[in-house]
């Protein structure tokens, strides 16, 4: 089981030199999500490809929530932070739970694209 001390050490190790540590994993607000994205955290849009094409967080990777278990290797290393979102928060919560079951230790969920404070991009999904 992951201890608080282990988690804290991992988060501190992942923080770029000279910056503050990442917040604890879990649900975050749009402002925190944008700060995580600006720090290079992998952003994962778990909506359908059609929803993704209509608008998504800049730099996001699209893996629909019902494919996350099968495609978790595409997310990256299990110790690296990943930021999820969907339309309402239901699918991102399901995907976050699946990633946690698979051993991902720094999963952030800002639930809804409508909470994103910055601009969105339009266009087709790109693979990670």
Angle at 4 between CA 100 and CA 105, to 5 degrees: 20
**Which residue out of 28, 61, 82, 86 is catalytically annotated?**
86
Tokens representing 54? 């209509």
The residue written with tokens 């991102």 in the block is 92
Residue closest to 123 by CA, chosen among 57, 37, 75: 57
Instruction: Give yes or no: 34 in active site.
Output: no
Tokens representing 98? 């699946």
Using DSSP's 3-state secondary structure scheme, residue 39 falls into: coil
> Ramachandran region of residue 5, left (φ > 0), alpha (ψ -120 to 50) or beta?
alpha
Mind telling me the catalytic residues? 86
């Amino acid at each position: 089981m992951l201890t608080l001390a282990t988690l804290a050490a991992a988060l501190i190790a992942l923080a770029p030199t000279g910056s503050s540590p990442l917040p604890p994993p879990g649900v975050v607000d749009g402002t925190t999500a944008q700060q995580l994205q600006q720090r290079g955290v992998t952003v994962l849009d778990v909506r359908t490809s059609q929803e993704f094409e209509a608008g998504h967080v800049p730099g996001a990777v699209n893996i629909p929530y019902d494919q996350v278990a099968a495609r978790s290797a595409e997310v990256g290393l299990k110790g690296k932070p990943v930021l999820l979102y969907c339309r309402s928060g239901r699918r991102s919560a399901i995907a976050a739970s699946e990633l946690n079951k698979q051993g991902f230790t720094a999963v952030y969920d800002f639930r809804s694209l409508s909470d994103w404070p910055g601009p969105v991009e339009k266009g087709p999904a790109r693979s990670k």
